[in-house]
Amino acid sequence: MIVESPAKERTISRMLSKDYVVRSSYGHVRDLPEKKMGVDEKKNFEPSYVLLPRTKKILPELEDLAGKASVVFLATDHDREGESIAWHLVHLLELGDEKAKRITFHEITPTAIQEALKAPRSIDLNLVHAQQARRVIDRLVGYKLSPLLWKKIRRGLSAGRVQSVAVRLIVEREREIKEFSSKPYFSLGALLSKPDQPPPFEARLTQWKGEKVESTQVYDLFSEQYRVHSTRFGTQEEIAAVAAALSSAAFTVVAVDRKEVRRRPTPPFATSTLQQAASQRFGFPAEKTMRVAQGLYEGVDLGDGEPVGLITYM
């Protein structure tokens, strides 16, 4: 069985019988060359792969073990990167369809691993092609735009498929913020209660002298429509005069509406929402959050000597 990381190798080895040999690929085994484009634009953007330095060290052992094994389980992560690693291993180790078995699991527990072993599948080429396309676009954008940044701004800057677009969106948003003209407005609320009948309840002024108090304007901002709420009272003097006029008024409840409201529980964390929550609550940078999450996924020793996976794969 080949997994992605040495930590998973150690954890999963303890959960399987001696009939299994677990080894790590140490992440990706092949990639585009570091100092060349590595993409043939004239041949349908065909990528050219080279062995990574660490792969050269572990490949002989993997080849030897794969040659002796009756089945090679490719247990890399259940995402496009993991699928790509499995695909590269099949080619490097020259594994046939009968020998190569792709398995995935979302948590590192004995039950999850045994269930995965019962349901092997073939390599998902759609995921492999998705990873290849992402990597090729990264290379095309980065290698062509980065030299332009070096020439126009300064050396050492980099451009990319994601970061360059993100920078543009930030700049466009900042321009719209600067061009937006904000105007103050005031609203009026009251805390009302009937004598000797608590609790009080809040009320908001919605009409004054037969006209609506609140209004909503729609603005086209940042390629989207935003609704901006305001009131007809633009100065503190105006709202103070209304408050004074109502301070001695009698209020009547003319209707009570009752309805049942259902609130769904918060969905489980995805990678993005986990990073946001960790940043807001603990001030963690994204890199620290992912290191912690990876450790929880791979397993933590809770005192009985055996690591236990505490979260599922995200």
pLDDT at 299 over 90: no
pLDDT at 16 over 80: yes
Please report whether residue 259 resides in a domain. no
Over the stretch 17-69, which tens digit does the pLDDT of each residue have? 999 999 999 999 999 998 899 999 999 999 999 999 999 999 999 999 999 99
Residues 227 and 277 in one domain: no
pTM listed for this prediction = 0.69
Which DSSP string corresponds to 73-122? EE---SSHHHHHHHHHHHHHTT--TTTEEE---SS-SHHHHHHHHHS-B-
Please report whether residue 175 resides in a domain. no
Instruction: Average the pLDDT over 68-87 and give the result.
Output: 96
pLDDT at 198 over 90: no
Its domain, for residue 126, covers 2-131
Q: Which residue, 236, 228, 238, 237, is CA-closest to 182? A: 228
SS (H, E, C) 21-57: CCEECCCCCEECCCCCCCEECCCCCEECCEECHHHHH
Residues 14 and 81 in one domain: yes
Please report whether residue 197 resides in a domain. yes
Question: Residue 120 and residue 237: Cα distance in Å, rounded?
Answer: 74
Tell me if residue 313 is catalytic.
Answer: yes
Over the stretch 146-195, which tens digit does the pLDDT of each residue have? 989 999 999 988 888 898 999 998 998 898 888 878 889 999 999 988 87
- Between the two ends of the chain, the Cα-to-Cα distance in Å is 22
Provide the domain count of the chain.
3
pLDDT of residue 85: 98
Q: Which of 26, 49, 143, 313 is catalytic?
A: 313
Please report whether residue 9 resides in a domain. yes
pLDDT at 221 over 70: no
Please report whether residue 30 resides in a domain. yes
Residues 15 and 56 in one domain: yes
Residues 16 and 95 in one domain: yes
| pLDDT above 90 as % of the chain | 64
Please report whether residue 91 resides in a domain. yes
Q: Which CATH number fits the domain that encloses residue 8?
A: 3.40.50.140
pLDDT at 313 over 80: no
pLDDT of residue 58: 95
Please report whether residue 286 resides in a domain. yes
Question: Residue 291 and residue 278: Cα distance in Å, rounded?
Answer: 12
Please report whether residue 139 resides in a domain. no
Q: Which residue, 300, 302, 185, is CA-closest to 242? A: 185
Residues 44 and 82 in one domain: yes
Lowest model confidence (mean pLDDT) among 58-72, 180-194, 248-262, 292-306: 292-306
Residues 28 and 126 in one domain: yes
